[in-house]
Amino acid sequence: MSLDNLARTAYNEDHEAFRQTVRQFMQKEVAPNAARWDEDGVVPKALWPKAGALGLLCPTVPEEYGGLGLDFGYNAVVDEEAAYHGGVTLGFSLHSDIVAGYITAYGSEEQKQQWLPKLVSGEAITAIAMTEPGTGSDLQGMRTTAKKDGNHYVINGSKTYITNGQNADLILVCVKTDTEIEPAWKGVSVILVEADRQGFKRGRNLDKIGMDAADTSELFFEDVRVPMTNCLGEEGQGFIYLMSELPQERLSIAVSAQAAAQKAFDDTVTFTKERKAFGKPVFDFQNTRFVLADLKSKLQVGWAHLDWALNRHATKALTAEEGAAAKLWHTDLQWEVMDKCLQLHGGAGYMNEYPIARAWRAARVTRIFGGTNEIMKELIGRKL
């Protein structure tokens, strides 16, 4: 089974040709190893250069920095195919859809020359460190500081729930460069920290209830000295940078959620047609067909909305509240699909050997990361 893209409006023939390459990579390199990587709690770094060689990483990076200079639709294709065929959380979307965008948009020429080719090739894996213990979605409340000392910053603090935390070679760290200024957001900056800097330590690879292969980690910074040239863009503008890139980040989450929901649905249709109860396939019970019919209708609406949002984003028209709404709606749909599909699996659905069980566990966090869905409602509500 594969995603049916014949009726899609967000993609052209070039996107679909690229999709075939992505799909083959996911089916050959990722899916057969998904269960083992879940057990290991990390995707091996060796996978990244393989993806880079095929153009799967950071396709929007301009050609002068080693990229393909393509539109975000290519990122979305990778996200969809990884969610549908990969069966495991790779960390590619964080790297390609979020971090690469920050460096491309706000990095100095030196930063772009140094890092973007490595991001494209998979030589360097990236993370972005926003969340801290006790702050959650409240970025203005962060406590990690970067104090000036000569021509260096000295960073102290800790971060948690950081995707790619164990594998990352470069971390974009959100810090307070000014702890006195009001409002507090004016004191936020983003600083590039290389993982080999003295004083930087990786904490635990956190034990999650899902997305087991994602190396979600604690990170610690103890008197980490970095040159002031490692500041991304202007000092004190970090909060504005973060807010400006959030529509794409939340659209990326919506894309993956929709594709994962479709995969769960397709697998469940197959399962219910093969599994028998009371002498006939589970699919032949009216309740089963009605549940699946309802989900199919909602998935149909979801794909139409997703293409609308992708087309809006392609013309830079997608607003912050529209990105928030996409994240809210598609992750809520993902959870509904996963939960009802697991129910239709009966007892098998509760067994980790079945894909639906792992997909159900992985889906729970999508309503939390990228800003909780409650925060999404708050952001949308402010614009009413």
Domain ranges for the chain, please list them. Answer: 13-124, 128-236, 240-382
Give the pLDDT of residue 321. 96
Helix axes 320-344, 286-314, angle to 10 degrees: 160
Q: Catalytic residue positions? A: 249
Distance CA 373, CA 363 (A): 13
Contacts of 363 (CB under 8 A, 6+ apart): 210, 257, 260, 261, 331, 334, 335, 338
The values of phi and psi at residue 146, to 5°, are -130, 105
Indicate if the pLDDT at residue 139 is higher than 80: no
Give the pLDDT of residue 7. 76
- Which of the listed CATH numbers 1.20.140.10, 1.10.760.10, 3.90.380.10, 2.40.50.140 matches domain 240-382? 1.20.140.10
Cβ atoms 371, 250 nearer than 8 A: yes
Which CATH superfamily, name and number, covers 128-236?
Butyryl-CoA Dehydrogenase, subunit A, domain 2 (2.40.110.10)
The values of phi and psi at residue 248, to 5°, are -70, -40
Give mean pLDDT, residues 77-83. Answer: 97
Tokens linked to 232? 């991304």
Cβ atoms 52, 121 nearer than 8 A: yes
Position 320 confidence tier, pLDDT thresholds 50, 70, 90: very high
Tokens linked to 307? 């293409």
Q: Which of 206, 36, 33, 197 is nearest to 131 (CA)?
A: 206
Query: What proportion of the chain, given as a percentage, has pLDDT over 70?
Result: 98
> What is the distance of C-alpha 230 from the center of its chain?
24
Position 5 confidence tier, pLDDT thresholds 50, 70, 90: low
- Does the N-terminal peptide bond of residue 227 adopt cis geometry, omega within 30 degrees of 0? no
Task: Please say whether the structural domain 13-124 has been given the CATH code 1.10.3720.10.
Answer: no
